[in-house]
Structure formats: structure tokens, C-alpha cells
């Protein structure tokens, strides 16, 4: 397995996702350890898009607990239904938030975070974890991010 990620230099966001998703799939396919795989997924997304913050919160004892991430330090625990991550968990649906200040109950781990997308990952029809991606720009995520991040989380879900 190669540890190099090929990121096309001039490409659209869709093309970048299309280039990196099969590489991430191959990177995690031979590795059974969940935390190793979550770490590499967070790193690959950070390396490809330079997201302000990207990482995982895992469901543990009825809370979301911080897992592997890339970016500034973050809140460690989030309650069911709280903030964007807790809402993605309670609703079992991706949350696309163009302006975090307009989202009721948003948890500001960093004052620099302006927009956010959170994608749930399912195991046995239950949310097992969420992927959280934050930007320091308003309105930085759209349906393209949702499409490909949900696809990537589907690949991850098939391995857990």
C-alpha cells in the first residue's frame, strides 16, 4: 500500500473528491483498526481541501466523544441533539450549515468556525459516529460536499 495521496493540481471540487475517494478506500481497505482508518481519512481530507477542522465524533455511552481529527483543539463531548453534531446524530441526517451563528444551539469549539457540514456514519441502522468538517469562511459547503462526503462515509460504514 502506498502512503502517498495523489491530489490533482487544477481541478474542481468534484474532481478532487473523485480522485481521492478511491485512494482513501484503498488506504483503509487493508487496515482493520478503526482509529488508524479514521486518522487517515481526516488527514486525507485535510491534505486535499485544507479544511479548517475535520474529524470524527464517536457515539460512546450516549454521548459523542472526540475522535481522530486534524485542526485546532476541540470540544471533547457533545450531548444527543446538541449543536450541529448532536443534531446529525439525533436526526440521522447530514447537516449542511452555511452560517453556524444561524444554527440554533451551535457549539462554538472555535470562534473562527463560520460554516460546517456534519455527516452521520451508520452501523446496524444506528448512528455510530459523525464526520464534522468546519470552515472559517461562510457558506463554504454545498451539495457537492454532501454527495461525496456521504459516499465516503458509506464506504467507511461498510467496514465498521
Give the integer Cα–Cα distance in Å for 102 and 84. Answer: 11
The residue of the chain with the least Cβ separation from ligand SME equals 83
- Give min distance, CB of 1 to ligand SME, in A: 29
Give the integer Cα–Cα distance in Å for 35 and 42. Answer: 10
- Give min distance, CB of 26 to ligand SME, in A: 28
Closer CB to ligand SME, residue 31 or residue 101?
101
Closer CB to ligand SME, residue 37 or residue 135?
135
Closer CB to ligand SME, residue 8 or residue 72?
72
Closer CB to ligand SME, residue 27 or residue 49?
49
Contacting residues toward ligand SME, per CB under 6 A: 53, 74-75, 78, 83-86, 106-107, 109, 113, 116, 132, 134
Amino acid at each position: 500500500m502506498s502512503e502517498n495521496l495523489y491530489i490533482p493540481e487544477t481541478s474542481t471540487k468534484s474532481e478532487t473528491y473523485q480522485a481521492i475517494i478511491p485512494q482513501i478506500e484503498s488506504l483503509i481497505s487493508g487496515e482493520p483498526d478503526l482509529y488508524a482508518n479514521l486518522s487517515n481519512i481526516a488527514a486525507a481530507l485535510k491534505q486535499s481541501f485544507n479544511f479548517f477542522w475535520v474529524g470524527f465524533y464517536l457515539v460512546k455511552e450516549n454521548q459523542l466523544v472526540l475522535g481522530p481529527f486534524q485542526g485546532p483543539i476541540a470540544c471533547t463531548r457533545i450531548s444527543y441533539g446538541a449543536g450541529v453534531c448532536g443534531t446529525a446524530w439525533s436526526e440521522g441526517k447530514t447537516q449542511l450549515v452555511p452560517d453556524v451563528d444561524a444554527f440554533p444551539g451551535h457549539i462554538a469549539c472555535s470562534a473562527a468556525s463560520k460554516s460546517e457540514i456534519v455527516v452521520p456514519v451508520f452501523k446496524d441502522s444506528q448512528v455510530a459516529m459523525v464526520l464534522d468538517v468546519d470552515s472559517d469562511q461562510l457558506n463554504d459547503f454545498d451539495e457537492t460536499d454532501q454527495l461525496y462526503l456521504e459516499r465516503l462515509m458509506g464506504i467507511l460504514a461498510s467496514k465498521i
